[in-house]
Chain A
Amino acid sequence: MDVIETTTTRSGPVPSIRAEEKKRITPKRPRDYVAWAVAIAIVAGLVWTAVTNEKYRWPVVFSYFTTQTILNGLLVTLLLTAASMGLGTLMGLVLAVMRMSHQRPVSGLAQLYITFFRGTPVLVQLVFWFNIAALYPNLSIGIPFTDISTPVNVNAIMTPMTAAIVGLTLNQAAYMSEIIRGGFASVSRGQHEAAESLGMSGFTKLRHVIIPQTMPAIIPATGNQVIGMLKETSLVSVLGVADLLQSAQAIYARTYQTIPLLIVASLWYLIMTLVLSVPQSMIERRFSRSTRTRLTPAATSAEPGAGQLVPPTRESLL
């Protein structure tokens, strides 16, 4: 720095530092300022209307924000999300295994399931399950080829809550199975071959070699599904399940405070998705850094530690 100063004072316009040492500057372009101006204008406009438009009734929003009905609805929404995610993942795993089977009838059946449940709207599926008694009024649950069986009145067990869980679970299973299958597809053939050539059994190979490598693909995608499911549960309000949205609707049906209560529900959904997105983005960052699975010659012949990070799923069992 002082080199610059001494040279400038001494020799005026003569170049003060050597060309090799000069900083390189990219001038800001007009569009950079325009983008900022537009963004600020939009946000300011939104805030302005939210504050000045009386009909938002913010005091009403705050007064209902933590009422018992809303909190109960919140709990139902969370339970629905957890139940259908958990069951859907288990069932998705079964479907994925079926889908990957070399036996055509088995994989075909799974394919059929996935096509059907991904090809029809969840809302329709939910209403369908709620009305399933119209198709099968009585079911008989029992052990085949024995006399042990109990008749079940479908109408009685298919409560709105059951229909909601069944509908969301069956739908989620179709999506989860594709995610799980994708995870397995991301592991190269060579990994299977290496494990098999060591004499590993199918189970050992899956447990110690393949499944740990599927996780970087499966876990972040599953996180996205959880967030999606949280919002999707709002569809069950059409069945009359007292979830967050339905609770808000129940209140405004009495008080006619439609907008403020929809704001209450939206804020809660927003809070929950934001809370969930924190671990989600941590997981994503952790897994997206991996340089693994398919090892290209270029990547593998790189110098040791040349910008390559430690793979995230560590096998600590050995």
Chain B
Amino acid sequence: MNPDGTIVARKLCKSFGRHQVLRDIDLTVAAGEISCIIGPSGSGKSTLLRCINGLETVDRGVLKVNGEDFGYVEKDDAYHAVRPKRLAEQRARIGMVFQQFNLFPNMTAESNVMSGPVLVQKKDRVACRERAQELLASVGLSGCGHKYPAQLSGGQQQRVAIARALAMEPTIMLFDEPTSALDPERVGEVLAVMRDLAGNGMTMLLVTHEMAFAREVADEVLFMDEGIAVERGDAREVLANPREKRTQAFLERVL
């Protein structure tokens, strides 16, 4: 079976100094599946996502992305960190969308989208430009390619950021609260793009507070609290009939 687009985490642990942020997290995302992570702020949702694309290193546990150990190779009794070049290769196959967009302000929207394929994959510039224009059109931003991030609204910037991640042809897309920094009337346009993406069979792991969206598109939901994966299961099931007390309390607060 082709393992592309899968994430497997077993007993994942991560501490910042003495503060343990992830405690034995188990997570499985199958290819083409949409998984949502929900939970109160500070519960370790971002940290989990950032471990999966190497923005944070894992302390202990198993993490396999696209079927391979991520960032480390297993040898003898230990996991050995891979060389930066290898890590970059693994990362290039995972798209990441940030809460604060993090577009490169010194590049136009089009150059932002092209930056990965041209600078990392060393692909032909002309072809990349064409592809960037297609991608921008697919997120509803044809004609905005020449604009700089500062000239775009938050919603537009986030859509460019999604297009930039997609340009690398990732097998997995990670979203960390992609709509939390947006004005309420801009949230819909970003969710629409993500809904499209979900419909096209992309593996997606997303941290969100948009419960309605989670209920609509997600296959699975993981509820985290204080670094613990408290409850995991079918999205509709967990959101409608949570088993755990903490999940119930959280959902009562946010719904």
Contact = CB atoms under 8 A, between A and B. Distances in A.
Interface residues of B, number: 51
A305 B168 CA distance: 28
Given A300-B181, A304-B156, A198 B120 contact: yes
A314 B155 CA distance: 22
A202 B108 CA distance: 22
Contact of A301 (B85, B88, B95, B182): B182
A199 B116 contact: yes
Interface string B85-116: 10011011111101011111111101100111
Contacts of A318: 107, 110-111, 114-115, 118-119, 125
B164 A193 contact: no
A301 B105 contact: no
B181 A309 contact: no
Contact of B106 (A190, A302, A311): A311
A197 B96 contact: yes
Contact of B105 (A193, A196, A293): A293
Interface in A183-213: 188, 190-191, 193-202, 204, 208-209, 212-213
Contact of B102 (A193, A291, A292, A308): A193
B84 interface: yes
A43 B67 CA distance: 80
Interface in A283-317: 291-293, 295, 297, 299-305, 308-311, 313-315
A208 B120 CA distance: 11
A213 B105 CA distance: 8
A310 B53 contact: no
Contact of B55 (A191, A196, A315): A196
Interface string B23-65: 0000000000000000000000000000001110000000000
B154 interface: yes
Nearest to A194: B102
A293 to B, nearest CB: 7
A197 B53 contact: yes
B152 interface: yes
Contacts of B168: 198-199
Given A194-B104, A300-B100, A199 B120 contact: yes
A301 to B, nearest CB: 3
30 contacts: A188-B102, A191-B102, A194-B102, A194-B161, A196-B55, A196-B91, A197-B91, A198-B119, A198-B165, A199-B92, A199-B116, A199-B168, A200-B120, A201-B85, A209-B106, A209-B115, A213-B105, A297-B100, A300-B181, A301-B182, A301-B186, A302-B153, A304-B152, A310-B151, A311-B106, A311-B149, A311-B150, A314-B107, A315-B107, A318-B114
Interface of A: 188, 190-191, 193-202, 204, 208-209, 212-213, 291-293, 295, 297, 299-305, 308-311, 313-315, 318
Given A196-B91, A301-B182, 11 more contacts: A191-B104, A198-B91, A198-B165, A199-B89, A199-B91, A200-B120, A300-B149, A301-B155, A304-B152, A311-B149, A318-B114
